[in-house]
Amino acid sequence: MKLTLNIWRQAGPESEGQFETHALDGVSEDMSFLEMLDLLNQKLVMSGREAVAFDHDCREGICGMCSLVINGEAHGPVKGTTTCQLHMRSFSDGDQIVIEPFRAAAFPIIRDLVVDRSSFDSIIMAGGFISARTGSAPDGNAILVPKTDSDKAMDAAACIGCGGCVAACPNAAAMLFTAAKVTHLASLPQGQPERQSRVLSMVKEMDEQGFGNCTNERECEAACPKEISVATIAQMNRDYLKAAIFTD
Amino acid sequence: MSASSPILESNSPTGPIADRWANHRFDLKLINPANRRKFSVLVVGTGLAGAAAAATLAEQGYSVKSLCIQDSPRRAHSIAAQGGINAAKNYPNDGDSIYRLFYDTVKGGDFRARESNVYRLAEISNQIIDQCAAQGVPFAREYGGLLANRSFGGAQVSRTFYARGQTGQQLLLGAYSALMRQVASGGVELLTRREMVDLVTVDGVAAGVIARNLVTGEFERHSADAVLLCTGGYGNVFYLSTNAQASNVAAAWKCHKKGAFFANPCFTQIHPTCIPVSGKHQSKLTLMSESLRNDGRVWVPKDNTDRRTPSEIPEDARDYYLERRYPSFGNLVPRDVASRAAKAECDKGRGVGDSNLSVYLDFGDAIRRDGAPLIAEKYGNLFQMYEMITGENPYKTPMRIYPAVHYTMGGLWVDYNLQSSVPGLFVLGEANFSDHGANRLGASALMQGLSDGYFVAPATITAHLASGKVQRLNTDHPAFAEAEAEATARSSKLLGVQGGRTVESLHQELGQIMWDNVGMARTAEGLKGAISSIRSLREEFWNEVRVPGEASHLNPSLERAGRVADFMEFGELMAVDALAREESCGGHFREEHQSADGEAARDDENFSHAAAWEHKGIEQPKELHKEKLTFDYVQPSTRSYK
């Protein structure tokens, strides 16, 4: 198939960016979206131009490295799918496709479609862990975890940290990302000792990193490639409220 | 290759195998807690091995610096492991033990692994589960709250712990959270989007690395009292593999060129259940958990001219070749056996699909027996992924699968302390060679990465730090300036060629040579041809590669070019090793060495050793060092799955 691509190009964080239009022929419907971009890049390089920079790694939907807003949707049109798993059979011959980076103040653009998501690491650093020094753990079965709690923890822990939720949110909020980690750890007995301090400091860090607030748009849930539920946000809000009132 | 090859000592402890690790730990020197902060440790890579090691060493009080190639340590390719992690807990009370896990791993590795290491791995496996559970890894549970287990990869016991189909992700996020906790407390300095481009040695001892800041393009000098290389495997030498795009051999290869021996590079694992190649555009292959073989039946049409759709082919026109050839294990034979059998059918022209390079994995019987909902509960996410990639619905038509490069058992040679032949350079996880022999069992990679990272290296690192060899150098030493100048010159050279071929097309060509000649079946003739083809392709690379842009900004084309340049050198060593190993074992199958019925024929008399290659210059022959493998406990026997 033949496509027209409108792609965001930007030389660096301080440079001004603009859309560039490329006609691309010879796209197979079996290609993944990123393989389509590989094809474009090979053509650009052979015609003496620079390849479009984009983040990607595992290309199987689990590392969370790929991004892109495709025709206005984070990770493109297919539900529960990362950009790397999106295949060109979801598009038609003659389509025009607009490709942009994830846009948020807390995700500054590095180059072209590549953004800096280290603000997510900062949120995890603020408390997205259970303090369990290596070697100090009791036997695995000494801690009983009801299956329903474990399943709930796993549903939330499936988050891949891609930032699609932020890109989809009109406020560029990181609520779903933060809430997923808070819910994962709060659902488990191992997570209880630090439960209150965790939620307070992660939320504080989220604000300090420049993410917006939640206004219940639920765009994050719709865009999330792992279909993390906004129920996690409700859980985080409850935990935050309790912690804010009861913590000394 | 001659009998006069130098012999390499593993520094393995002796005595009863069950006591070796405990005794060895006692014999290792300790460093006083207050003094540890004076020792700097550089950890390259943040996969399971790297993240676990960096976090643990910081907890112990060392000054740790951690480098990762991605934008966050949470991305490393350990994250993609699906199936699970083995441990000898024997929670299901089905006869498992540390000794049995040890035995199975030595046997599964086709008697080409070091007994002492494997026993230690089996012993530590239990602590790993405890550690991960305490960190909040959401392992699968029984209704009573106990940890759940399943049987995996043909094991006769249920020893695999798992977190749905995302075990690697959850274990990595556990290690990542431990690491970020240390970054927050100042125990670890974390540098992301950094690529190690050289190892710096002074008087043959590791003194640090040169890294490129991938965002600014700057080369940086990092000195350290010990360097831990946790940079994964080299499967991408084949171009198409299940590895992530950034997975590469460059860091390990640079260490090799600075004196670290490379062991058993020809031991690669080809995984039987991957989605077949759909065309030249394909950039990677996707693995589907081999748990699918628990219920799926593998077959091809008996008649290779039979082009009917699978549903039109009646039972008596199908050949369920694994069930026919291996009546006792059937569809559950180990990975190397299943992969070779699929290749054999396709070589006979019985392959299916447009390319004739795939076989059917059929769930029809399982769906009729158990009903679609039960099958969906077990494999729903895999079926969905398959449909997303191929556009075919596996509930209605059999899946098509073909083997793909998945894991590399070879790697930098290390002794029992995980120290390479360069003092002060330790190698962990898939990057080393030690524990899986010639074939890795399912659910053992995660176990080894975490064992090395959480438990082994943090104990054995004192073998260097307290040895008196530590030089306490800083980056003003001329060796750093020299290595940085070399790295800068290489990058300018890559940009300067401005030839007529893209990095990808050259990589793809290398991959084809490797797949055809150093893949599932190898011959002396093919390997010799591959060596000369790789040499000429390497020359072409340096004359014809076109790398756009500058070195002074984020330039993915330049990054990739550097990695492919190293694969062009490394591929030759793989072929040389495969040629030297005149036997078939595990993932290494030499067509000249097979039994009458086509099974691997091992030669214990001449090849019961690890082949560790020393670099002597790119155009010079490598020197082979042999580490003799002795089996005091598990007597070598022929693996039979019939």
CATH number of the domain bearing residue A47: 3.10.20.30
Considering only alpha carbons, which residue of chain A is nearest residue B129? A140
> Residues A147-164: pLDDT tens digits?
999 999 999 999 999 999
Write the residue in A114, A145, A158 that is nearest to B554 by C-beta. Answer: A114
Q: Strand, helix or coil at A83? A: helix
CB atoms under 10 Å from CB of A15, counted, come to 11
Q: How far is CA A228 from CA A176, A206, A220, in A?
A: 8, 18, 9
Quote the tokens at residue B57: 């060493």
Question: Both A76 and A37 in a single domain?
Answer: yes
CA distance A25 to B12: 59
Q: How many CB pairs under 8 A join A and B?
A: 225
Write the residue in A59, A134, A154 that is nearest to B283 by C-beta. Answer: A59
Q: Are B97 and B90 in contact (CB under 8 A)?
A: yes
Question: Both A128 and A205 in a single domain?
Answer: yes
CA distance B618 to A199: 55
Is B146's CB within 8 Å of A161's CB? no
Question: Both A62 and A123 in a single domain?
Answer: no
CATH number at residue A187: 1.10.1060.10
Q: How far is CA B246 from CA A55, A193, B193, B254, B562, in A?
A: 11, 38, 11, 16, 11
Question: Both A155 and A37 in a single domain?
Answer: no
Per-residue pLDDT for A63 more than 80? Answer: yes
Residue B4: the pLDDT is 62
CA distance A248 to B5: 70
Question: B212: part of which helix (H) or strand (E)?
Answer: strand B205-213
In this prediction, residues A134-145 reach a mean pLDDT of 97
Per-residue pLDDT for A98 more than 50? Answer: yes
Dihedral sign for Cα B461, B445, B147, A198, please: positive
Domain boundary at A84, A111, A138, which? A111
Question: Which amino acid, one-letter code, is at B126?
Answer: N
Domain boundary at A59, A94, A111, which? A111
Question: Both A85 and A186 in a single domain?
Answer: no
CA distance A151 to B38: 44
Q: Strand, helix or coil at A185? A: helix
Domain with CATH 3.90.700.10 in chain B: 272-405
Quote the tokens at residue B306: 């039979």
**What's the CATH code, domain B272-405?**
3.90.700.10
Residues of chain B predicted below pLDDT 70: 1-4
The verdict on ipTM greater than 0.95 is yes
Pick from B518, B470, B452: nearest CA to B270: B518
CA distance A188 to B134: 10
> Residues A176-230: pLDDT tens digits?
999 999 999 999 999 999 999 999 999 999 999 999 999 999 999 999 999 999 9
Q: Are B62 and B41 in contact (CB under 8 A)?
A: yes
Residue B380: the pLDDT is 86
Is B80's CB within 8 Å of A60's CB? yes
Q: Strand, helix or coil at A5? A: strand
CA distance B409 to B439: 7
CA distance B125 to B116: 14
Residue A94: the pLDDT is 98
Q: Which of A134, A184, A197 to mutate to test the interface with B (most CBs of B within 10 A)?
A: A134
**Facing residues of A24 across strands?**
A3
| Counted domains in chain A | 2
Residue B2: the pLDDT is 44
> Residues A100-113: pLDDT tens digits?
999 999 999 999 99
Question: Both A95 and A140 in a single domain?
Answer: no
**Facing residues of B301 across strands?**
B318
| B29 min Cα distance to partner chain A (Å) | 19
Pick from B277, B273, B390: nearest CA to A85: B390
Residue B249: the pLDDT is 98
Write the residue in B73, B91, B181 that is nearest to A131 by C-beta. Answer: B181
Is A87's CB within 8 Å of B283's CB? no
Residue B200: the pLDDT is 98
CA distance A19 to A6: 6
Considering only alpha carbons, which residue of chain B is nearest residue A111? B554
Is A49's CB within 8 Å of B454's CB? no
Angle of the B556-580 helix axis to the B250-257 helix axis, nearest 10:
60
- Within 8 A of B553 by CB-CB distance, chain A residues are 11-12, 111
CA distance A33 to B281: 11
Write the residue in A29, A138, A190 that is nearest to B136 by C-beta. Answer: A190
**CATH class of the region B477-603:** mainly alpha
Per-residue burial over A89-102, b if 16 or more Cβ lie within 10 Å, else e, is eebeeeeebebbbb
- Within 8 A of A117 by CB-CB distance, chain B residues are 71-72
Distance of CA B375 to the CA centre of its chain: 30
Residue A35: the pLDDT is 97
Considering only alpha carbons, which residue of chain B is nearest residue A112? B554
Is B143's CB within 8 Å of A147's CB? yes
Q: Domain of A67?
A: 3-111
Is B133's CB within 8 Å of A133's CB? no
Question: Both A97 and A146 in a single domain?
Answer: no
Q: Are B68 and B469 in contact (CB under 8 A)?
A: no
Q: Could you tell me the pTM of the whole model?
A: 0.97
Question: Both A122 and A197 in a single domain?
Answer: yes
Domain with CATH 1.20.58.100 in chain B: 477-603
Write the residue in A49, A118, A190 that is nearest to B192 by C-beta. Answer: A118
- Within 8 A of B79 by CB-CB distance, chain A residues are 58, 62-63
